[in-house]
Amino acid sequence: MITEGEEQDTRDDEVIRFEGVTKRYGRHDSPAVGHLDLAVTRGELVALVGPSGCGKSTILRMVNRLVEPSAGRIVVDGRDAAHTDVVALRRGIGYVIQAGGLLPHRTIRQNVATVPRLLGWDADVTRRRVDELLELVGLDGWAHGDRYPAQLSGGQQQRVGVARALAADPPVLLMDEPFGAVDPVVRDRLQSEFRRIQQELGKTVLFVTHDLDEAVKLADRIAVFSTGGVLEQIATPTTLLSEPASEFVVDFIGSDRGLRRLAVTPIRPEDLERPLVLAPADGAAYAATALELDGRAWAVVLDHGRLLGWVARGPLLEQRGSRSARVGDHTRRFPTTVAARETLRSAFSALLAQELRFLPVLDGEEFLGVLTPDVVHTALRRDL
C-alpha cells in the first residue's frame, strides 16, 4: 500500500519519476523494460533512444497507463500514476504520436478541441484556445482550421498533433517518434519550432526517437537504452558524445560521433584564427608588406573596430608602388558572418555555403576572429 506520505517524497522539481519499473508482456518473457530508475525534471526534454525493440515506447506508454508496469512505480507530477484515476492522469499529459494520430473525419479545429470538449469547456473559450494553438504551431486558424487531416501535408498534420496535445495546457508531453513520418527538411523546421514552443511554455517532455541527431538537437538529456529497457547512460548530448559510458553506447553513437558533436559544440573565441587586421586608410605598400610577413593571402579590414570586409594580397601587391592606393579601395564585403552564440554546426554549414574559406565571427558588432576548416577540426578533436 502506498500512503499519501510516501507519495510526497518526490523532489519538487521532478515531474516524472520511474522507480524500479519493470514490464513483462508475457508471464515468462524476458522483460521489455527491466528495473528502470529515471527522473525527469520540470521543463526538461529527455529523449529516449536505442535500437528498435529496446523498450522505448513501452516506457513512454507506461506514463499515461496505456501499458501498466509489472513492478515498480511511476510518479507523475507528485502522484503515483497507478493510484491516479486514468482519465485524470491523461488530462495532465499530452500525447503526440507519428502523423499526429488525428481523427480523420473531424476537422482540424475539432481535432484540436478534443480534450477541451471532453473537459466540458465553454464553446467560446474552446474556440479562442483553438485559435491560439493553431497560431502557436504556425497554422493560421482560418486557412486550415476547417479542413480535414487528409487535406493537410504530413508536416501540417504533425503540427496539429502538437496543438491538440497542448490544448488543455498539460504540464507533461509524451512524444513517440512525432516527426518520424515527415521529410528531412520539414522535420528540421518542426524540430526547431517545437523546441522553441516547449521552452517557451516550460513543458516537461519525454521524447522517443530512433534518430540520434534529432535527440542531440532537441534534448536536454538523452537516455540510451539497450534491449530489455536497460538504461545504458543518461547524459547531456555533449557528455554523451564526448564521454560514452559503455561499449554499447559507443557502438550506438557510431563512428561519426565527431560529426554529431558539431551540433552541440559552441564556438569558442579562443579557437578562432586571428588574421592580420588592416584599416581602410592603410596604404597598399604597408598592407602588402604586412601580409607577406603574416603569410596569409588575405586580411580582415576593420574600421574603428567595425567589420568592413576583407582584402586579398594580390591587388595590394600590384598597387604596392602607388602612393595613393589604400586598403579601403580593395576591400570586399564578406558574403556571410556568423554570431558567436551559434553552434559549430551552423557556422560550419555557413562556411561551406560560401566560396571563401574563412568566415568572420561576431559578438554583436565586435569582431572575434575567423572560422576556418582548421578551427572546426581543432574544436572537434578536443576532448575526444
Q: Where along the sequence are the contacts to ligand ADP (CB under 6 A)? A: 25, 32, 50, 52-58
- Shortest separation between residue 32's beta carbon and ligand ADP, angstroms: 3
- Shortest separation between residue 221's beta carbon and ligand ADP, angstroms: 18
Instruction: Tell me whether residue 70 or residue 114 sits nearer to ligand ADP (CB atom).
Output: 70
Q: CB burial class (10 A; 0-12, 13-18, 19+) of residue 352?
A: exposed
3-class secondary-structure state, position 346: helix
Phi/psi for 12 (5° steps) reads -55, -35
Instruction: Tell me whether residue 212 or residue 291 sits nearer to ligand ADP (CB atom).
Output: 212
Instruction: Tell me whether residue 225 or residue 298 sits nearer to ligand ADP (CB atom).
Output: 225
Instruction: Tell me whether residue 254 or residue 314 sits nearer to ligand ADP (CB atom).
Output: 254
Closest CA to 49 of 182, 194, 199, 244: 244
- Shortest separation between residue 28's beta carbon and ligand ADP, angstroms: 12
End-to-end CA distance of the chain: 49
Q: What is the full DSSP assignment across 242-272?
A: HS--SHHHHHHH-TTHHHHGGGGPBPPGGGS
- Shortest separation between residue 246's beta carbon and ligand ADP, angstroms: 18
Instruction: Tell me whether residue 208 or residue 287 sits nearer to ligand ADP (CB atom).
Output: 208
C-beta of residue 322 within 8 angstroms of C-beta of residue 344: no
C-alpha cell at 83: 493510484
Q: Which residues contact 269 (CB under 8 A, 6 or more apart)?
A: 340, 361, 363, 368, 369
What distances in angstroms separate CA 32 from CA 63, 118, 140, 174, 226, one per listed residue? 15, 33, 42, 19, 10
Q: Taking CA 187 as the corner, what is the angle to CA 115 and CA 94, rounded to the nearest 5 degrees? A: 20
Instruction: Tell me whether residue 55 or residue 116 sits nearer to ligand ADP (CB atom).
Output: 55
- Shortest separation between residue 53's beta carbon and ligand ADP, angstroms: 4
Bridge partners, 343 (sequence order): 266
- Shortest separation between residue 223's beta carbon and ligand ADP, angstroms: 12
- Shortest separation between residue 13's beta carbon and ligand ADP, angstroms: 27
Instruction: Tell me whether residue 52 or residue 324 sits nearer to ligand ADP (CB atom).
Output: 52
Instruction: Tell me whether residue 55 or residue 161 sits nearer to ligand ADP (CB atom).
Output: 55
Phi/psi for 354 (5° steps) reads -120, 165
- Shortest separation between residue 197's beta carbon and ligand ADP, angstroms: 24
